[in-house]
A = this chain, B = another copy of it.
Amino acid sequence: MARRRQWLPALEWLRSYNGRFFTEDLLASVIVAIMLIPQSLAYALLAGLPAEMGLYASILPLLVYAFLGTSRVLSVGPVAVMSLMTAAALGPLGLSPSEYMVAAMTLAMIAGALLTTLGVLRLGFVANFMSHPVVTGFITASALIIALSQVQHLLGVSAHGYTLLELLPSLWESVRDINTLTAVLALPTLLWLFWSRKGVARVLTGMGVSRNSAVMIGRISPVVAVVVTTVVTWWLGLDQRGVATVGEVPTGLPHFTMPSFDPQVWRTLGGSAVLIATIGFVESISVAQGLAAKRRERVDPDQELVGLGAANMATSFFGGFPVAGGFSRSVVNFDAGAATPAAGLFAAVLMAVATLLFVPFLVYLPKATLAATIVAAVWSLVDLSILRHAWQYSRADFLAVFVTITLTLLMGVELGVASGVLVSLVVHLYKTSRPHVAEVGEVPGTEHFRNVNRHQVQTYETILSIRIDESLYFANTRYLEDIIYNMIAERPRLKHVILMCTAVNEVDMSALESLLEMNERLNELDIKLHLSEVKGPVMDRLEKGHLLSKLSGNVYLSQHQAVEALKNIT
């Protein structure tokens, strides 16, 4: 039972479901669904797909995640950054519209399969490759690119590209083709969206509405923009006068469609899918963990991989594209009081109803309105202050942020995030590859050993005591050899080297080989190698690696014992 509940977390909350939960979940789901309609349409367009695919991608993922996810409030569906990544992955391939749709579904399929596999194998830790500076830098740079890519729709012109270097010249060239009516419609929409985020709540609370309700009503301001601009467009016949609208869209629920299982296609899309999956997971787990902690609830990262993976695979069979747990939508769900994942389930039903009812009205919905929705949504993701904070905090972290932001803006999302991850790793290895190593001596009258450069301590010409403040592993063995051989080269009368291993939590095979070789080299020079204060698990390891049997010297329980035993032997 415990095992079944582990793989199907819904069994947990379903057992205790009751009427109060139902009311709370239903209310939250209505608010979330209203907010999702324009968002999902907009993100589909951002991904380069027909608007209705956004609605399709909002139904099944919510449903599947409700049963398989461990977060009670995470809302899974199309999100801005993944839509941009989808567009950036597929745009350059030069596909026909129908090929493009299948490719988007296939991306969701590959990403979903990957996430599920990692989850089943309990390998969620791979998301740790994404450091905070890289994620923040990447999101900021992506948001800037997304906002810029929407300017064309706000002005009624056409531009292309997924980097600053492509978008800016392209926009510049098309600037004389601005459609005035579109721009006139877009400007107040944009202003409304930016103002309404805080303004509506302020006005309503001023009118005596409770703070909480006022914020909730404020959240649905994008829907107001959608309705008003659609009506205006229909009334004035703007769609006949150059204002681009979403247009005719097939009605009805999504039907079963196969993504591609052609190995050639998987090879082409594989790299992009890996990045999309990773970014999607990192975003989702951060949001889920943050919101769960607020209520003292738990999420299980490995099960989250399964939930998110299944959501992606499911939607890939019904005209969807890559999805993730969105920040703003989940926060709305949380604030609206969702008690259990059933809120997501109800929202899925409402989205299905919306798909059936509202699709005909999309004929008059201006693309500029959706573009404005996107700009307003992603603008809050832009956080350039991360550059300043990172600079103040550490140069290493700054380097990671800077590389990620710059390369994402100039060379595209995939190269940007991949380089960021690489830089974080290299910087980390660099730091641990030069561990603090100190020559130590005994503080007279005590059994304590301290750095010879900082304290007045007792040392002996024939003994070199070295304390290593880091685990020994492949990244630092060479540095350590270097330091120790250099110390030895300076001490002609040396007979004993004692490595004090207080801070050594691990010795990997590279370090073992290095110690074995050092032992042999020193022995040739008639110097004995000793160890002191070795931790239990490390001791077992060294035993297995035959270091202890080959060691020219001894292993001492304490550094003091070692020095006492060796100081009179020459």
Among the listed B125, B489, B503, which residue makes an inter-chain contact with A429, where contact means beta carbons less than 8 Å apart?
B125
B430 near A125: Cβ-Cβ < 8 Å: yes
A129-B429, A131-B510, A476-B128 are contacts. A296–B525 as well, Cβ < 8 Å?
A: yes
Known interface pairs A508-B397, A510-B133, A525-B296. Does A289 touch B128 (Cβ–Cβ under 8 Å)? no
Q: Are A125 and B434 in contact (CB under 8 A)?
A: yes
A160 interface residue (CB < 8 Å to B):
no
Measured between C-beta atoms, what is the minimum distance from A38 to chain B in Å? 30
Given contacts A297-B489, A489-B296, contact A509 B478 (CB under 8 A): no
**A293 touching B133 by the CB < 8 A rule?**
no
Knowing A125-B479, A505-B469, say if A545 contacts B513 (CB, 8 Å): no
A428 to B432, CA, bound (A): 12
User: Out of B129, B294, B506, which one reaches A431, CB within 8 Å?
Assistant: B506
Please give the distance in Å from A432's CB to the nearest CB on chain B: 8
Alpha-carbon separation in the docked complex, A279 to B475 (Å): 15
Interface residue? A328 (CB, 8 A): no
CB contact list, A435-458 vs B, under 8 A: 436
CA distance A29 to B277 in the complex (A): 58
Residue pair A128, B475 in contact (C-beta under 8 Å):
yes
A284 an interface residue at 8 Å Cβ cutoff?
A: no
- Decide yes or no whether A541 CB sits under 8 A from chain B: yes
A15 at the interface (CB under 8 A from B): no
Contact of A132 with B510 in the complex, beta carbons under 8 Å: yes
Given A133-B509, A294-B524, A485-B293, does the pair A478, B394 have CB atoms closer than 8 Å?
Answer: no
The answer, yes or no, to whether A474 is at the interface (CB within 8 Å) is yes
Query: Using Cβ atoms and an 8 Å threshold, which residues of chain B touch A392?
Result: 544-545
Residues of chain B with a CB closer than 8 A to A127's CB: 478
* A558 interface contact, C-beta 8 A: no
CB distance from A199 to the nearest CB of B (A): 26
The smallest C-beta distance from A400 to any residue of chain B, in angstroms, reads 8
Tell me whether A25 is interfacial, beta carbon within 8 Å: no
In the complex, which residues of chain B have a beta carbon less than 8 angstroms from the beta carbon of A469? 505
Does A126 count as interface, using CB distance less than 8 angstroms? yes
Q: Give every chain B residue within 8 A of A301 (Cβ-Cβ).
A: 478, 482
B433 touches A128 (CB 8 A): yes
Contact with B along A380-420 (1 / 0, CB 8 A): 00000000011011101100000000000000000000000
**CB nearest to A425 among chain B residues:** B425
Residues of B contacting A293 in the complex (Cβ-Cβ under 8 angstroms): 481, 485, 488, 518, 521
Task: Contacts A126-B426, A297-B489 given; indicate if A482 touches B289 (C-beta within 8 A).
Answer: yes
User: Interface residues of A, CB < 8 Å — how many?
Assistant: 68
Whole-angstrom distance between the alpha carbons of A505 and B468 in the complex? 12
Give chain B residues whose Cβ lies under 8 Å from the Cβ of A126: 426
Contact with B along A518-533 (1 / 0, CB 8 A): 1001001100000000
Judge whether A393 and B512 touch: CB under 8 Å.
Answer: yes
Which of the residues B298, B470, B481, B513 comes within 8 Å of A289, measured between beta carbons? B481
Which secondary structure dominates where chain A touches chain B?
Answer: helix
- Encoded as 1 (CB less than 8 Å from any B CB) or 0, chain A from 525 to 550 comes to 10000000000000001001100000
| A167: Cβ under 8 A from any B Cβ | no
- Check B429–A128 contact: CB distance below 8 A: yes
In the complex, what distance in Å separates the CA atom of A293 from the CA atom of B514?
12
Which chain B residues lie closer than 8 Å to A514 at the CB level?
A: 132
User: What residues of B have a CB within 8 angstroms of the CB of A290 in the complex?
Assistant: 517, 521
Please determine whether B393 and A541 come into contact, CB atoms closer than 8 angstroms.
Answer: yes
Residues of B within 8 Å of A525, CB to CB, are 296
- Would A509 and B394 count as touching, CB distance under 8 A? yes
Across the interface, do A131 and B508 meet the contact criterion of CB distance under 8 Å?
yes
| B contact residues around A129 at 8 Å (CB) | 429, 474-475
Q: Is A424 an interface residue (CB 8 A)?
A: yes
A110 within 8 A of B: no
Q: Is A473 in the interface zone, CB < 8 Å from B?
A: yes
Having A294-B524, A392-B545, one finds 14 other A-B pairs with CB under 8 Å, namely A125-B429, A125-B430, A129-B475, A131-B509, A289-B478, A290-B521, A293-B481, A293-B488, A393-B509, A394-B508, A396-B508, A425-B425, A428-B474, A503-B505
| CB pairs A–B below 8 angstroms (12 shown) | A128-B478, A133-B510, A285-B478, A292-B485, A294-B524, A296-B489, A298-B485, A298-B489, A393-B541, A393-B544, A424-B474, A469-B505
Closest 6 CB pairs of A and B: A131-B474, A132-B510, A397-B509, A128-B475, A293-B521, A131-B510
